[in-house]
């Protein structure tokens, strides 16, 4: 509780300082810049974002590369794979880089940076106090919640965002501490920034039940817009990563592109809350909003794709407001008697587009409610948001946050890497010392076997060592209550309907077989002869497998990081499919002559994802994700396909 309070205070003051930095830099950049660059006339707008990029690039590249981009995926990855551990330097570098980027006109939001800053504060406190991984993860969520609460004056939304997006699960244990941090940060924010909603909007309400049809249609069109934003952002990131140009200078090029756009459409600069406010008050024309929608999507993709630092929440709201406002203009023009003003649709569109991009419908709904303080529009808000999220799931399986991780071979569900248990084979951790019992043993002998070896279950074999069944401690306990139990043997009490596993199956598959029946162990059998016992996999083996998988994941992460540091050239993640006639089929990774610096990150096989090691054998149909220098990408592809 005390830790949550401290993190809440830190996140609250951090959010206030961060906002002050953005405002100060914006004033210096644009007011001071217009005077210093007066000889350029209005064309000075071209230079300001590029100058910001020149400062941000080296700052991120040399001091903390995890502060590049919007930050939330890095926090999610730390929670899922590293016990919530985030480097303390992230607090300073993320704050500086994002405030410079946004303050000089970069098209990005404040929420991603403050989430990463707050999370890094929580992680730093947890590491300093030598807390367990679970408690550090909770403090990371506290920092994220506090950042959202203080930035947007939205304490409830901060809690839900931390649980829904960062931790990926709702639990009473996490809820209590996260609420304390969120409320504390919100109080700090209200003391310094006032107790007012982020947007002051007119009193909108549902005009008639028939109007719900138009909100349904808004949800339908919001889905492709949200997905389009996700794809454009990462496509732009791919283009910049593939460009053989000094990485620390790329944000300046992206800033120059934003400057060109801003010269004609200055509304794309910065966070854009002023323009959103106009849309919410129905003060913008349809064509203007459509132009701004496209330009904001391009400007944000340029800013973050080139290596700038900032969030995606505010740009999503901006695009949603423009889309909703344009749609509202259309429907209100055609049906003025049964529809609200366009501002009502702009408000709903904000939540719908964000939900389509982030797949966080609860957070989207509550954030919009708290940011506006208007409850009467809640019914269409919920309807459009849910429809947009569901349809977006059909168009793109990953969110704007998880796509960045999945491209690295990390696939999350409920805040955990669902693939980590798919990376270790049963053969790597199974116990071969099975000490089976025979069919003919009486119950006294079976009881002595349990007392001697202290296990919960044993495989049962006949005189030829052929697997016949399994006997558990529960089987023995039940049989001892039966009449004439002295005459019973293992053959009478053992389970003959066996659940088995093969040595080349993953621990994830074994766990999937054990969980439905609450089994403590599984016999491991020969794939060519299911009656031949090879070993046993037990719950303690699964714990060992998890630790082994985490170590492998961390090793690969370190290799990728080292490749980035050692290589002056650009590097990127690529995906390659192993065909049946590929020369790498049925070969282990250790025998492949891969380009120097190439790191194989993951191998997707059917529905499984393997964390590779030297003995991993490639099969036809495997999809291999590798991290490779751009100049070696063609060589790698030819090696797989020739």
- What is the CATH code of the structural domain delimited by 2-193? 1.10.3080.10
102-129 in b/e form (b: 16+ CB < 10 A) is bbbbbbbbbbbbbbbbbbbbbbbbbbee
pLDDT recorded at residue 218: 94
Strands 623-629 and 571-577: antiparallel
Q: DSSP letters along 130-192, please?
A: T--HHHHHHHHHHHHHHHHHHHHT-HHHHHHHIIIIII----HHHHHHHHHHHHHHHHHHHHH
Q: Report pTM.
A: 0.72
Average pLDDT over residues 2-17: 88
What is the tens place of the pLDDT at every residue in 391-418?
998 998 888 888 877 776 666 554 455 5
Q: Is CATH 3.40.30.160 the right assignment for the domain spanning 567-641?
A: no
Q: Kindly report the average pLDDT of the chain as a whole number.
A: 82
CB 155 within 8 A of CB 171: no
Q: DSSP letters along 460-503, please?
A: EE-TT-BEEEEEEHHHHHHHTTSTTGGG-BHHHHSB-S---B-T
CB 354 within 8 A of CB 388: no
pLDDT recorded at residue 295: 94
Average pLDDT over residues 618-626: 82
CATH 3.10.580.10 positions along the chain are 421-542
What is the tens place of the pLDDT at every residue in 461-477?
887 778 888 888 887 88
Question: DSSP secondary-structure letter at 270?
Answer: S
Of 301, 249, 384, 378, residue with least CA distance to 69: 301
Strands 599-605 and 416-417: unpaired
pLDDT recorded at residue 415: 47
Average pLDDT over residues 109-133: 86
pLDDT recorded at residue 423: 60
Poorest-pLDDT segment among 93-97, 199-203, 549-553: 549-553
The secondary structure of the chain in percent helix, strand, coil, rounded to multiples of 5, reads 65, 10, 25
- What is the CATH code of the structural domain delimited by 421-542? 3.10.580.10
Average pLDDT over residues 150-170: 80
Is it the case that residue 130 has pLDDT exceeding 70?
yes
Poorest-pLDDT segment among 20-24, 125-129, 246-250, 635-639: 635-639
Q: DSSP letters along 22-86, please?
A: HHHHHIIIIIIHHHHTGGGGGGGGGHHHHHHHHHHHHHHHHH-GGGSBTSHHHHHHHHHHSTT--
- What is the CATH code of the structural domain delimited by 209-410? 1.10.3080.10
Taking CB atoms within 8 Å and a gap of at least 24, the contacts of 440-448 are 440/489, 440/490, 440/491, 441/489, 441/490, 442/486, 442/488, 442/489, 443/476, 443/479, 443/480, 443/485, 443/486, 443/488, 443/489, 443/493, 444/486, 446/471, 446/476, 446/490, 446/493, 447/476
CATH 1.10.3080.10 positions along the chain are 2-193, 209-410
Is the model more confident about 456 or about 150? 150
Is the model more confident about 455 or about 419? 455
Query: pLDDT confidence of 545, banded at 50, 70, 90?
Result: low
Q: Kindly state the tokens that stand for 152.
A: 């947007």
In sign, the C-alpha dihedral spanning 385, 388, 393, 396 is negative
Is it the case that residue 561 has pLDDT exceeding 70?
no
Where do we find the tokens 């053992």?
A: 494
Poorest-pLDDT segment among 349-358, 560-569, 627-636: 560-569
What is the tens place of the pLDDT at every residue in 117-128?
988 898 888 888
Of 174, 241, 117, residue with least CA distance to 573: 241
Question: DSSP secondary-structure letter at 198?
Answer: S
Average pLDDT over residues 172-185: 84
Contacts of 281 (CB under 8 A, 6+ apart): 201, 202, 343
Is it the case that residue 251 has pLDDT exceeding 70?
yes
Query: pLDDT confidence of 459, banded at 50, 70, 90?
Result: confident
């Amino acid at each position: 509780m005390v830790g949550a309070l401290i993190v809440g205070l830190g996140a609250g003051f951090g959010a206030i300082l961060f906002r002050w930095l953005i405002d100060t830099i914006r004033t210096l950049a644009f007011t001071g810049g217009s005077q210093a660059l007066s000889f350029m006339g209005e064309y000075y707008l071209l230079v300001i974002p590029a100058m910001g990029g020149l400062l941000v690039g080296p700052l991120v590249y040399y001091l903390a590369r995890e502060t590049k981009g919007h930050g939330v995926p890095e926090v999610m990855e730390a929670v899922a794979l590293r016990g919530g551990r985030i480097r303390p330097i992230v607090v300073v570098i993320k704050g500086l880089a994002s405030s410079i980027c946004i303050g000089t006109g970069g098209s990005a939001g404040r929420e991603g940076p403050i989430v990463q800053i707050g999370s890094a504060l929580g992680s730093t406190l947890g590491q300093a106090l030598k807390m367990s991984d679970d408690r550090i993860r909770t403090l990371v969520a506290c920092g994220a919640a506090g950042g959202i609460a203080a930035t947007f004056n939205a304490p409830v939304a901060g809690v839900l965002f931390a649980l829904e997006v960062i931790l990926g699960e709702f639990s009473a244990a996490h809820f209590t501490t996260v609420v304390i941090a969120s409320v504390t940060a919100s109080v700090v924010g209200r003391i310094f920034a006032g107790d007012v909603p982020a947007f002051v909007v007119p009193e909108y309400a549902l005009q008639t039940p028939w109007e719900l049809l138009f909100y349904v249609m808004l949800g339908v069109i919001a889905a492709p817009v949200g997905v389009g934003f996700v794809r454009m952002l990462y496509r732009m990131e791919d283009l910049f990563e593939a460009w053989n140009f000094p990485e620390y200078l790329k944000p300046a090029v992206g800033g120059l592109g934003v400057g060109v756009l801003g010269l004609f459409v200055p509304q794309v600069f910065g966070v854009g809350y002023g323009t959103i406010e106009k849309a919410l008050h129905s003060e913008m024309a349809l064509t203007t909003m459509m132009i701004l929608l496209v330009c904001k999507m391009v400007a944000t993709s340029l800013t973050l794709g080139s290596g700038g630092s900032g969030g995606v929440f505010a740009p999503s709201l901006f695009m949603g407001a423009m889309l909703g406002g344009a749609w509202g203009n259309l429907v209100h023009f055609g049906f003025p008697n049964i529809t609200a003003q366009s501002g009502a649709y702009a408000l709903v569109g904000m939540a719908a587009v964000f939900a389509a991009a982030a797949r966080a419908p609860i957070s989207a709904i509550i954030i919009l409610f708290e940011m506006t303080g208007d409850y009467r529009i809640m019914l269409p808000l919920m309807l459009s948001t849910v429809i947009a999220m569901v349809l977006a799931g059909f168009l793109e399986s990953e969110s704007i946050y998880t796509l960045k991780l999945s491209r690295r071979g990390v696939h999350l569900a409920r805040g955990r890497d669902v693939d980590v248990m798919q990376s270790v084979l049963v053969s790597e951790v199974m116990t071969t010392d099975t000490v089976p019992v025979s069919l003919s043993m009486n119950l006294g002998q079976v009881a002595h076997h349990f007392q001697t070896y202290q296990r919960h279950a044993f495989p049962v074999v006949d005189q030829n060592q052929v697997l016949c069944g399994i006997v558990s401690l529960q089987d023995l306990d039940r049989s001892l209550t039966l009449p004439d139990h002295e005459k019973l043997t293992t053959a009478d009490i053992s389970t003959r309907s066996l659940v088995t596993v093969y040595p080349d199956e993953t621990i994830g598959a074994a766990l999937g077989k054990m969980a439905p029946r609450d089994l403590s162990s599984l016999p491991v059998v020969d794939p060519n002869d299911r009656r031949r016992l090879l070993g046993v996999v037990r719950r303690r083996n699964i714990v060992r497998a998890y630790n082994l998988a985490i170590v492998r994941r961390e090793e690969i992460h370190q290799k990728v990081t080292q490749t980035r540091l050692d290589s002056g050239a650009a590097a990127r993640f690529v995906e390659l499919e192993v065909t049946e006639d590929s020369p790498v089929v049925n070969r282990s990774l250790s025998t492949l002559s891969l380009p120097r610096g190439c790191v194989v990150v993951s191998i997707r096989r059917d529905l499984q994802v393997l964390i590779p090691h030297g003995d991993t054998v490639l099969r036809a149909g495997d999809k291999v994700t590798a991290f490779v220098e751009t100049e070696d990408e063609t060589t790698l592809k030819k090696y797989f396909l020739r």
